[in-house]
Amino acid sequence: MTRLARNLFYTTVLVVLSSPLFIVAGVSVNEKKFMIFPPRGFSFRWFAEVFEKTKWSEPLTNSLIIAFSSSVIALTIALPIAYFLWRYRVNYAKALYAMGLMPFALPPVITALGMLFFWVELGHTGQIENIILGHSVFLVTLPMVMISLGLESIDREVIEAARTMGADDRRTFFTIILPLVRPYMVAGFAFVFVLSMNEFIISYFLGQYAVVTLPVKIFAQLRSGYSPVIASVAVMFMLLAIAVFGLIARFGDLPKLLGAWSPRE
Amino acid sequence: MTAETANGSESTEAVAQSGLAWQIKRHLPPGYAGLMLAIFFLVPFGIMVAISFSENIPSGLWIYSFELTHYARFFSPLFTTLLWVTIEFAFVAAIVSVAITFPFTYFLSRYRRRMQVISLVFVLCVLSLSEVIVAYSWSVMLSKPAGVSNLFVLLGFMEKTTSWSRGYWSVLIALTWFNLPLAVLIQYPNCSRLDREITEAAMTLGASPVRTFFTVVVPILQPTILTAFIILFVFTMGAFVTPTWLGRPEQWMYAVLIGDEALGRGNQPFASALAMFYLVVTTVLVLITVRLGRKTDRNLGA
């Protein structure tokens, strides 16, 4: 009885979590240009439009460029901080780590506003690199924490062994540490990529309508009127997320990445 | 502390390898990381603080000076009312989502590994969805031609389809829903680390599963629940798209106001002052919550 109640509750929450997604997916395959559920007819024409019309394909390209570049930059910032804290435990490494946590703790509007002023002061507004740098710094926390988790799980005896056999710091880093933390770096990259694709406020403040990302385009389109393409874009976002996180779960230890205690240790 | 003792031997070794060039090379990567964070995060924040005290030049510019006029403007009824609206939304959405997700996450952490992984992938997918897409999904959900009311009519719960779009309840429902996946991920680590033997012991002593949950699991994980509440509260305080798209101006939360001042009206000093004020209010509320949490902890201990 209690087990039944437990499973019932669990399923209900899952259904509630997925219901808006199902309705949007239904709306996206409507044949007519109206928003209606259950869908009437079936067609993929709104999906095709995302790639065919420049008003959608341009924001898509922008979002992809921004997501890819900011994931790379975020990793280059996160890795040295996490490595230095783990390897040397010096105070300034702790300070850097704390600084890396801050962007995530601050409300995004405040971060976005500060960054806007920064670029206004430099007279360099509405450029794609502003958004790239904004996302790299804003989302750096995730890869930093994940790489730290990965480093903590390395057995220090392995490092000692390498040392005894005559490997210097650099060699130990490239031949032992880097391969061991690579899965965590890949996961960190994927998280930044997906979250950057979906990020709205920073892109909206820094883009200044000169650089438009996909979420900003959806927002603008919502204001000017309904278009079924919005639903298909939303579905594409969900599929991207399912693909990325599904792959991480398939090839990595997802519960551990999310901080669970792993019974295999 | 084991890490530090391990480092003791390493640092003597570092001295042996020292040499200025090597030292500089070694500190280059973290130096670069620190510089990036300082230039693109700390400096912008500092500029914002400075602008909040500066003189406004209409059309989105400012002259650096020191005045408190922008801070004085908060005490107009419009801004105090909207501050309360923001706090109320954040408070209710955080409480409701924690109440739903705590048992959910606890059950999740007790399932077999495969089920856990599938659930986590699903939760991550929902979490990663843009606030824009979530707000859009809910406007579809609550709309007349495509929304849940169609389902209720189909099942015979309701006579006619209705529209609930735009207003207090739409905003509150969407904000709460938006919090759910994040709440699960925050509580998951500690839920999964809770030793099964503890609950099993309670059951062996004759406690029912429900009783075990409320008298053993909830008290042990109380700090986790409080942490989740605080993070969700801060997170919801910053909601931007949801109140803009699903609410009327009466439901405009603080982030919307800040965005409206900065991008719509071009009053940057006032937008910065609002941002500062909002940061201070959020910090104070979080500190109060943490303190209250400690107090209840001590009471439980006694």
The single residue listed with the structure tokens 């509320």 is B285
Are the C-beta atoms of B135 and A234 separated by less than 8 Å?
no
Nearest chain A alpha carbon to B37: A137
Task: Walk along chain B (302 residues) and give the pLDDT tens digit of each residue.
Answer: 344 444 444 444 555 555 777 777 778 888 899 999 999 999 999 999 998 888 888 777 788 888 877 888 877 888 888 889 999 999 999 999 999 999 999 999 988 888 899 999 989 888 878 888 888 888 877 776 666 666 666 666 666 666 666 788 889 988 999 899 989 988 888 888 888 888 888 888 888 888 888 888 888 888 889 888 988 898 888 888 889 888 888 888 888 888 888 888 888 888 999 899 888 888 888 888 888 877 766 655 43
Residue in chain A nearest B254 by alpha carbon: A109
CA atoms of B98 and A235, how far apart (whole Å): 27
- The pLDDT value given to residue B296: 67
> How many CA atoms lie within 13 Å of B153's alpha carbon, on the beta-carbon side?
14
CB pairs under 8 A between A and B: 265
Cα B252 vs. chain centroid, distance in angstroms?
A: 18
Minimal CA separation from B302 to chain A, in Å? 30
Its sign, for the CA torsion B29, B33, B38, B39, is positive
Cite the DSSP H helix spans in A53-168: 54-88, 91-105, 108-121, 128-138, 141-152, 156-164
Cis (ω within 30 of 0) for the bond into A38? Answer: yes
A71 contacts A192 by C-beta, under 8 angstroms: yes
Among candidate residues A81, A203, A89, A233, the one with its CA nearest the CA of residue A142: A81
* Closest CA relative to residue B213, chosen from B196, B199, B193, B229: B199
Give the pairing type, strands B61-63 and B55-57: antiparallel
pLDDT, tens only, A166-183: 888 888 888 888 888 888
* Residue A245 to residue A252: CA distance in whole angstroms: 10
* A129, pLDDT greater than 90: yes
Distance CA(A153)–CA(A130), nearest Å, equals: 35
Residue B206: alpha-carbon gap to chain centroid: 39
Task: Give me the residues of B, 235-294, that contact A with CB < 8 A.
Answer: 237-238, 240-241, 245, 255, 258-259, 262-263, 268, 271-272, 275, 278-279, 282
Three-state SS letters, chain B:
CHHHHHHHHHHHHHHHCCCHHHHHHHHHHHHHHHHHHHHHHHHHHHHHHHHHCCEEECCCEEECCCCCHHHHHHHCHHHHHHHHHHHHHHHHHHHHHHHHHHHHHHHHHHCCHHHHHHHHHHHHHHHHCCHHHHHHHHHHHCCCCCCHHHHHHHHCCCCCCCCCCCCHHHHHHHHHHHHHHHHHHHHHHHHHHCCHHHHHHHHHCCCCHHHHHHHHHHHHCHHHHHHHHHHHHHHHHCCCHHHHHHCCHHHCCHHHHHHHHHHHHCCHHHHHHHHHHHHHHHHHHHHHHHHHHHHHHHHHHC
Contacts of residue B25 in chain A, CB cutoff 8 Å? none
Give the span between the Cα atoms of A106 and A119, in whole angstroms: 19
A64: its two tokens:
């992809």
What are residue B61's DSSP bridge partners? B57
Interface test with A, best of B56, B130, B210, B227 (most A CBs within 10 A): B130
Structure tokens at B83: 């501050």
Q: pLDDT value at position B86?
A: 92
At residue A83, the pLDDT reads 92
Lowest mean pLDDT among A108-112, A133-137, A181-185, A227-231: A227-231
Q: Which of A17, A33, A40 to mutate to test the interface with B (most CBs of B within 10 A)?
A: A17
Higher pLDDT pick, A227 / B279? B279
For residues B266 and B275, give the distance between their C-alpha atoms in angstroms, rounded to a whole number. Answer: 14
User: B198 Cβ partners below 8 Å, 6+ apart?
Assistant: B216, B220
| A219 CA: distance to closest CA in chain B (Å) | 6
Instruction: Give A154 to chain B, closest Cα distance, Å.
Output: 12
Q: Which of B23, B26, B41 to probe the A interface (max A CBs under 10 A)?
A: B41
Q: Which site among A9, A85, A117 would you substitute to test the B interface, given the most B Cβ atoms closer than 10 Å to its Cβ?
A: A117
Q: What is residue B148's predicted lDDT score, i.e. its pLDDT?
A: 66
- How many other β-carbons are positioned within 10 Å of the β-carbon of residue B169? 13
Question: Residue A37 — pLDDT band, cuts 50, 70, 90?
Answer: low
Interior angle at CA A239, CA A233 and CA A243, nearest 5: 145
E strand or H helix at A34? none
**pLDDT at position A112:** 93
| Cβ-defined contact of A19 to B193 (cutoff 8 Å) | no
Other CB atoms within a 10 A radius of the CB of residue A30 amount to 23
Asked if B282's CB is within 8 angstroms of A107's CB, the reply is yes
Instruction: Show residues of chain B in contact with A46, CB under 8 Å.
Output: none
Dihedral over Cα of B274, A203, B51, B55: its sign: negative
Which residues from A are below 8 Å from B48, CB to CB?
110, 113-114, 117
Rounded to the nearest 5 degrees, what angle is found at the Cα of A149, between the Cα atoms of A143 and A154? 125
The C-alpha of A96 sits at a distance from chain B's nearest C-alpha, in angstroms, of 6
> B116 contacts in A (CB within 8 Å)?
255, 260
* Residues above pLDDT 70, as percent of chain A: 93
CB distance B187 to B101 below 8 Å: yes
Residue of chain A with shortest Cα separation from B121: A245
Q: How far apart are CA A197 and CA A215, in angstroms?
A: 8
* Nearest C-alpha in A relative to B185: A258
Higher pLDDT pick, B286 / A74:
A74
Specify the amino acid at residue A205. Answer: F
Across the range A135-160, mean pLDDT stands at 88
Confirm or reject contact between B108 and chain A (CB < 8 A): yes
Pick from B160, B133, B161: nearest CA to B145 = B161
User: How sure is the predictor about A107, in pLDDT bands with cuts at 50, 70 and 90?
Assistant: confident
Using an 8 Å CB-CB cutoff, list chain B residues near A92.
Answer: 30, 34
Please determine, for residue A264, whether its predicted confidence score (pLDDT) is greater than 50.
no
d(CA A113, CA B62): 14
Question: Which pLDDT score, from 0 to 100, does residue A33 have?
Answer: 65
Contact call for A84 and B263, based on CB within 8 A: no
Q: Decide if B205 contacts B216 (C-beta within 8 A).
A: no
In contact, B88 and B171? CB cutoff 8 Å: no
* pLDDT band at residue A74 using 50, 70 and 90 as cut-offs: very high
Which residue from B269, B281, B280, B261 is spatially nearest to B69, judged by alpha carbons?
B269
Q: Would the pLDDT of A36 be above 90?
A: no
Q: Is the reported ipTM for this assembly greater than 0.90?
A: no
CB contact under 8 A, A23 and B258: no
Which DSSP symbol is given to A44?
-
Considering only residues 149 to 178 of chain B, which have any Cβ-Cβ distance to chain A shorter than 8 Å? 150, 177
Chain A contacts in chain B segment 122-141 (CB below 8 A): 122-126, 128-141
